[in-house]
Amino acid sequence: MGLTSSGQQGPRVYRVSELTGEIQSLLESRFDFIWLEAEISNFSAPASGHYYMILKDERAQIRGVMFRPQARCLKFVPENGMKILAQGRIGVYAPRGEYQLLLDYLEPLGVGALALAFEQLKRKLAAEGLFDTALKRPLPFLPQRVALVTSPTGAAVRDFLKIIHRRFANLEVVVVPSRVQGVEALPDLQAALEAADRYVRPDVIVIARGGGSLEDLWPFNQEELARAIRRSSVPVVSAVGHETDWTIADMAADVRAPTPSAAAEILVKEKEELARRLGDWRQRLLRSIGYLLDMQEARLKALQRSVAAPARLVEGWWLRLDDLQGRLVRRMKVRLEEDDRRLRSESRSLRFYAPAARIERDRQQLVFARANLVSQTERRLESLRYALDLVQGRLRDLSPMAALQRGYSITFRLPEESVLRDAADIEEGESIRILLGAGSLEARVEKAESDPATRK
């Protein structure tokens, strides 16, 4: 209870900021350092580098934030659904009156942070194709110079050189020193790789280190080192740890060797083995040459036998030459005669079918045809004219007017002007018209006498 403005005892009245400040002070003093087991949801990582998430269990949830300085120290990236063990402090964000957990450390439950980070980085680089088989470059056969990136005092360099000297002592090995453990190892390894590639100009680079814990090998599980390996202009062999140790560097390298000693064995063949193979090849080559020499000698002897009697060969060639010459002359003579006959025939044809003569001949034929056509046409016209005269004469003879001219007449019954052929067809007193050779008469019938003998 507090005092009111009138000095009387009453309830205390807070401003919002005052109340929030007291809550903040109370929470931050009460929960200064806590551990929390929860599941992550609504995780986000904006460009600021801070991590925001919801930490929840089956019945409650609380906001959590990990600021960039703490987030950079995490070996893995939190994911939604991940079970984690978190360490942090309760903080109050006064502008919104929200309380949240300010995270200092996260650890995945069920799997170690490094193992989780390794799996996350492996999935990421694999998705980018950094481990694709198509990117792997073959190692040169019997390289002349090898750059070995490793600690110069470690066991790896001794094992590697021991194997090299035993198998092929004349191979040049340039050791490029680098730290292979600790926080400084990663930049050291990157710089050593670039220096080896640029200045040593080797045929192949070997990056090696002996065995150790996952923490010891952690510089070889870094994204920057994997990308530096892929940037190398020459093939890179990764020989880190023991047989069971797999690192990101092993996956990014062109060849993975289980140990530094194995890397040396992979790089160079055993000299004795090479010498034995060379010896075998030499014996095979000598046998092949001997066989070819025997074949050539046999062929030479056969040729010598075939030329044992050169005079007989020459005589045979002369006889064959004479025979061929005679056949050639006869064939040429026949051919010339055939050509001569063909030439004369074609000359006659040419003269006969010469254009000028043919035109003159066609012109004469045309003149003759024209005269013949005119003559035939005139005769035809004369014949037609004669036939026409005959027809005209017959027509004149058959014309009724010719009969009238000879004194005959034609009688028409009036008024219908029908030809009157029988006296029985008219009555006395009817009018008639009589057509004469020149002019006509109209008359009246006085008497009509029909002659039955003349009726048809």
Q: What is the pLDDT of residue 302?
A: 84
Name the token pair of 77.
Answer: 């990236």
Of residues 266, 206, 260, 262, the one with CA closest to residue 236? 206
Selection from 172, 192, 194, 195 nearest residue 180 by Cα: 192
Integer Cα distance of 264 and 9 in angstroms: 90
pLDDT tens track for 212-221: 877 888 899 9
Distance of CA 65 to the CA centre of its chain: 52
Q: Collect the ranges in the chain with pLDDT lower than 50.
A: 1-6
Taking alpha carbons only, the member of 199, 193, 213 closest to residue 150 is 193
Contact in structure between 11 and 20 (CB atoms under 8 Å) = no
Beta-strand (E) ranges in 83-182? 83-93, 98-108, 145-150, 172-177
pLDDT of residue 276: 85
Say if CB 171 and CB 143 are below 8 A apart. yes
pLDDT recorded at residue 4: 44
Beta strands per DSSP E along 183-315? 204-209, 236-240, 255-256
Q: What is the reported pLDDT for 190? A: 95
pLDDT tens digits for range 66-119? 999 999 888 888 888 888 999 999 988 888 888 899 999 998 887 677 778 888
**Which residue matches tokens 């890179």?**
236
Per DSSP bridges, beta strands 236-240 and 2-3 are unpaired
Q: CA–CA separation, 194 vs 198, rounded Å?
A: 6
Full-model pTM: 0.49
Rounded CA separation 361/347 (Å) = 19
Q: Is the dihedral of CA 184, 187, 191, 196 positive or negative?
A: positive
pLDDT at 454: 67
- AA letter at 95: P
CB atoms within 10 A of CB 173: 19
Residue 3: its pLDDT value, please? Answer: 42
Nearest to 221 by CA among 207, 234, 235, 202: 207
- Distance, in Å, from the CA atom of 189 to the CA atom of 438, rounded to the nearest integer, reads 156
| CA-only gyration radius of the chain, Å | 68
